[in-house]
Amino acid sequence: MAEGQRKLANGRERIDFATDPASYKHWKLSTDGEVATLVMDVDENGGLFEGYQLKLNSYDLGVDIELADALQRLRFEHPEVKVLLLRSGKNRVFCAGANIRMLAGSTHAHKVNFCKFTNETRNAFEDASEFSGLQTICVINGTAAGGGYELALAADHIILVDDGSAAVALPEVPLLAVLPGTGGLTRVTDKRKVRRDRADVFCTTEEGIKGRRAVDWRLVDETVSSTKLEAKVAERAQEFAARSHRPSDARGIALSPLTRRVSPDAIDYEFVSVAFNRADRLATITLRAPETSAPASADEIVAQGASFWPLQLARELDDAILDIRNNEFEIATIIFKSVGRLEDVAAYDSCLESFREHWLVGEIRHYWKRVLKRVDMTSRSLVALIEPGSCFAGTLAEIVFAADRSYMFVGEREGDNRAPAQLRLSPASFGAYPMANGLTRLEARFLGTPQDVENARAALGKPIDAGEADELGLVTFALDDIDWDDEIRVFLEERKSFSPDSLTGMEANLRFGGPETMESKIFARLTAWQNWIFQRPNAVGEEGALRRYGTGQKPVFDVRRV
């Protein structure tokens, strides 16, 4: 259940990540040839939870779910769109950021997962630009404060109206005693490379910065007078469109709604099942192999559209992960299983590999990359159980490498006539799905022994049994029938018994050895600090700034620095 002081609006019991443009409450998406326009016009009374109004284009998770959906649809349904204009539908206000009353009344767990999802959505804008040539121009017509400016920071180009009042601001520190939690600090220093002392001034100036100084300090790319705005926006849109490599003649596919059967202890999609064992704080996600043979041409993939197995599986898995993250806070461990024939999965991986230059296949692979990153960033213990009858091949093998641990069954199970478990690697394991830190999961795994990546490459395309997998270092433990049940049981009980917080911190560190990127810095460095601050009485206590915001009372701080 979605827990917290707050109730979901309209009597709903779970936060639902499925939406479509016809259902949007807060955004208007339109396309006109190469240019799409996404207008933010938040419905004050359309909050996800009861108890607050979304004034001044402030947002909650519900607003962001629609934003993420809009971007996803542009990638799959509108391959002809090369430039997205991100605009406000409100007069003299771009976006006031995350709604403060929503934040003040949310549980810590909801706040953290809300920030995580909004971060993933901002990253998705940058991913769309870098890998799909779908660039975003943000047009700021008024105040862009906090999360409002952080949304702009995700764009490729920021135009600020120069009318003496429109400004960008990160007022979190002076106003709310928290941090800009959606990548703001990191994008200011690492993406826009604002000089650190100027960033200090900017982030402590409640009213923000406007006009010439905003350009000089690189907070925005240009300012334009109100009268010249539309002409300038059109000019920039054309200019950016000319640079894009998106295909001009492609027809999109429809992302039709997923079919979900929700029962008290399970959620069943077509290729994904989630089984909850809440007493043991477990969720088991089972992925099923395709039932049809892989398409022989890119046209056939387009014709299958959203029912093309790799795409449908990715969408179902994505939805399942988001559902657990945001609705099932007490689940300690996610168990990944798979069912099906290794060769069937491998055939689809070969299909993706063969047609990887086709725009749709490219989008599917980039989507899998994002879904796998979502798995990496999920604050639950992750374990893959590789059993007889499983099909962790290629793309699915990435799930094994994303897990904190993996257990592989040696030989046959008594009374089970399925063939012994095998793994299989495909070229996808060697570059298609980099993690947030820029490494493949195998590179991250073998940080100390790069030769092991090459050893794994030598096994590419071959079935790998438990003994070999253990030898190659691809699984944590290979266990036979005698030990399997006990070892798994002890592991799961252990995980259930540990402090959820220390597990979250431990996993966040161990999963990301080696290099850092802007993206990994946002999730690790910035998020960790924000999580800390979200716990501190100076922000969330009775007299803290988040609670007192808008009450007319000043916050009272414990002045000790740490």
Using rule CB under 8 A, residue 406 touches its own copies: yes
- Residue 230 or 558: the one with the smaller Cβ distance to its own copies is 558
Work out which of 7, 12, 92, 195 binds its own copies, going by CB under 8 A: 195
Using rule CB under 8 A, residue 112 touches its own copies: yes
Residue 113 phi, psi dihedral angles, 5° rounding? -75, -30
- Residue 297 or 509: the one with the smaller Cβ distance to its own copies is 509
Using rule CB under 8 A, residue 284 touches its own copies: no
Using rule CB under 8 A, residue 267 touches its own copies: no
- Residue 53 or 189: the one with the smaller Cβ distance to its own copies is 189
Query: Which whole-number Å values give the CA distances from 243 to 35, 158, 160, 239, 284, in the listed order?
Result: 13, 17, 22, 7, 45
Using rule CB under 8 A, residue 391 touches its own copies: no
251, 302 in Cβ contact below 8 A? yes
| Piece of 48-56, 80-88, 102-110, 338-346 that binds its own copies (CB under 8 A) | 102-110
**Three-state SS for 98?**
strand
Q: Find, among 99, 238, 39, the residue nearest to 157 by Cα.
A: 238
Using rule CB under 8 A, residue 5 touches its own copies: no
Work out which of 51, 275, 445, 463 binds its own copies, going by CB under 8 A: 445
**Sites for its own copies among residues 155-184 (CB under 8 A):** 172-174, 176-179
Work out which of 268, 350, 505, 549 binds its own copies, going by CB under 8 A: 505
**Three-state SS for 285?**
strand
Work out which of 33, 257, 431, 513 binds its own copies, going by CB under 8 A: 513
CA 37 to chain CA mean position, Å: 22
- Closest distance between its own copies and the C-beta of residue 530, in Å? 7
Tell me how long the chain is. 562
CA 426 to chain CA mean position, Å: 24
Using rule CB under 8 A, residue 198 touches its own copies: yes
Using rule CB under 8 A, residue 105 touches its own copies: no
Using rule CB under 8 A, residue 339 touches its own copies: no
**Three-state SS for 173?**
helix
- Residue 329 or 367: the one with the smaller Cβ distance to its own copies is 329
Query: Which whole-number Å values give the CA distances from 499 to 329, 440, 479, 504, 562, in the listed order?
Result: 13, 30, 27, 9, 24
- Closest distance between its own copies and the C-beta of residue 457, in Å? 17
How many C-beta atoms lie closer than 10 Å to residue 301's C-beta? 22
- Closest distance between its own copies and the C-beta of residue 351, in Å? 30
- Residue 462 or 525: the one with the smaller Cβ distance to its own copies is 525
Compute the chain's Rg from CA coordinates: 24
Using rule CB under 8 A, residue 283 touches its own copies: no
Work out which of 502, 550, 551, 552 binds its own copies, going by CB under 8 A: 502
The set of residues, in sequence order, having a beta carbon less than 8 Å from that of 562 and lying 6+ positions away, is none
b/e per residue, 319-358, with b = 16+ CB within 10 A? bbbbbbbbbbbebbbbbbbbebebebbbbbbbbbeebeeb
Work out which of 38, 335, 476, 484 binds its own copies, going by CB under 8 A: 476
Using rule CB under 8 A, residue 102 touches its own copies: no
Using rule CB under 8 A, residue 369 touches its own copies: no
- Residue 138 or 408: the one with the smaller Cβ distance to its own copies is 408
- Residue 191 or 356: the one with the smaller Cβ distance to its own copies is 191
**Three-state SS for 80?**
coil
CB burial of residue 289 (10 Å; 0-12, 13-18, 19+): buried
